[in-house]
Amino acid sequence: MTNISTVKKRILYFIDYKGLSKNKFYIETGISNGVLDKKSGFTVDTIEKIISTFNELSVDWLLTGEGEMLKTDSSPAPAGHYTVIPLIPIDAAAGYGNGEEVVMPHHIAEGYVIPEWTERGVAYIIRVSGNSMYPTHSNGDLLGCRPVKDLSFFQWGKIYVLDTDQGPLVKRLYPAADNADELLCHSDNKDKYPPFSIPRSSIYRIAIVVGVIRFE
């Protein structure tokens, strides 16, 4: 298989192989028109729609470019359900901007097969960089994130990943005492990072952290 450097190029290569127009691809997958022409990367939701629509497409090839584009009967597979959870690289820096840990997802670089996380609804993994959530989460930890669809209900005190108009944040959430339209965000490194409120309207997406992997 010819080396294809990005997820977008691999998708374009695949639909050309299938003889699909971009419009037909959008219709079959339910992905918004124009996604393939944007310079930005793909969301986890977009990747999941592609994988679920085209069962013959190799997840490993799509995410990493390794192996063959199409699944084969002879390809070895682990016992049970085989699902690759994508790892989204994170550029983060404690003290950036307003002094909070800010994480910026770029593109899917690789993935992990973790059946226990798949069973718990983990859709993607991020790698922590920064110390605002120390000692609970340290630099380099991998966080398993399960998307939350109902933004009217939160498990107060749990750690969430918030995609906001100021960038993604990793924080413990609590209700804001004086304003039901805001959420109170806490860092575990309380000495350096004081709590702050964020309007619910500024949150685009949210996921709860349901697992962590730490490398010594």
**What b/e string do you get for 29-44 counting C-beta neighbours within 10 Å, with b at 16 or more?**
bebeeebeeeeebbbb
Question: In this structure, are 204 and 110 located in the same domain?
Answer: yes
Confidence of residue 66 (pLDDT cuts 50, 70, 90): confident
Question: In this structure, are 42 and 94 located in the same domain?
Answer: no
Confidence of residue 58 (pLDDT cuts 50, 70, 90): confident
| 122 lies in some domain | yes
| 107 lies in some domain | yes
Per-residue pLDDT tens over the stretch 29-45:
888 888 888 776 677 77
The CATH number given to whatever domain includes residue 202 is 2.10.109.10
84 pLDDT above the threshold of 60: yes
Structural domain count of the chain? 2
The boundaries of the domain holding residue 20 are 7-64
| 150 lies in some domain | yes
| 1 lies in some domain | no
Per-residue pLDDT tens over the stretch 132-180:
999 999 888 889 988 887 777 889 999 998 888 877 889 999 999 889 8
The CATH number given to whatever domain includes residue 11 is 1.10.260
* Chain centroid, CA 164 distance in Å: 14
Contact between residue 160 and residue 209 where contact means Cβ atoms under 8 Å apart: yes
CB neighbour class for 50 (10 Å; exposed up to 12, middle 13-18, buried from 19): buried
Question: In this structure, are 119 and 171 located in the same domain?
Answer: yes
